[in-house]
Amino acid sequence: MRTAIYPGSFDPVTRGHLDIIKRAAVQFDRLIVCVMVNAEKKGLFTPQERVELLRRVTADIPNVEVDASSSLLADYAREKGAGCVVKGLRAMSDFEKEFQMAMINRKLNPGLETVFLSARQNYTYLSSSIAKELAMYRVPLEDFVPAEIAADVQAKMEEQLCRQTRRTE
């Protein structure tokens, strides 16, 4: 069974992420989308909430599983019996860091390959940060995040804005 891991922050999952998930899912028998938890980076959503949003938007793709982990990716892949890491590339600016990560992962787990999928042209500008910034300005989010989670992203942003306003009063 060919198992791959698609790691990321997914804070929150965007249409660009979902496009990579769908395209990777047809290339492998099993795709694990893993929210990599970074204790130093506090996101808009908690890791568990990100998992829940990812599960909702991938519910109709049978060979996709969603998980969260604070392990080193190379160790996590070994633990899951995965031979491949999937990454999306938006621009050359993504490449340098991702290439370095691929080398490190192979050094730590010699059997681990990294496969890069190029972003679909209309999503090359899209990131979770952009989606959050647009939510701050109450721009409709349906073109940027999957439609079924757009209201959740907006509501979470409103909560954060409300908390910030209270703190500055």
Q: Which residues make beta-bridge pairs with 114? A: 85
**Among residues 46, 90, 101, 143, the one that binds ligand ADP under rule CB under 6 A:** 90
Q: Are 90 and 119 in contact (CB under 8 A)?
A: yes
Please report, to the nearest 10 degrees, the dihedral formed by the alpha carbons of residues 12, 14, 18, 21 taken in order: -60
Q: Is 90 tagged catalytic?
A: yes
Query: Minimum distance from CB of 16 to ligand ADP (Å)?
Result: 2
Is there binding between residue 54 and ligand ADP (CB under 6 A)?
A: no
Output the furthest CA–CA distance in the chain (Å, rounded).
57
119 binding ligand ADP? (CB under 6 A): yes
132 is catalytic: no
Q: Does residue 9 carry a catalytic annotation?
A: no
Identified catalytic residue from 15, 69, 87, 128? 128
CB of 151 to ligand ADP, least distance (A): 20
Asked whether 119 and 92 are in contact (CB, 8 A), the reply is: no
156 catalytic, yes or no?
no
H/E element, 68: strand 64-69
Contact between 9 and ligand ADP per CB under 6 A:
yes
Determine which residue in the list 87, 105, 141, 145 makes contact with ligand ADP, applying CB under 6 A.
87
Choices 40-48, 85-93, 107-115, 137-145 (CB under 6 A): range interacting with ligand ADP? 85-93
* Antiparallel, parallel or unpaired: β 30-36 and 64-69: parallel
Write the CA distances from 29 to 14, 21, 85, 152, integer angstroms. Answer: 23, 13, 13, 31
Give the binding site for ligand ADP (CB under 6 A). 8-10, 14, 16-17, 20, 87-88, 90, 94, 119, 123, 126-129
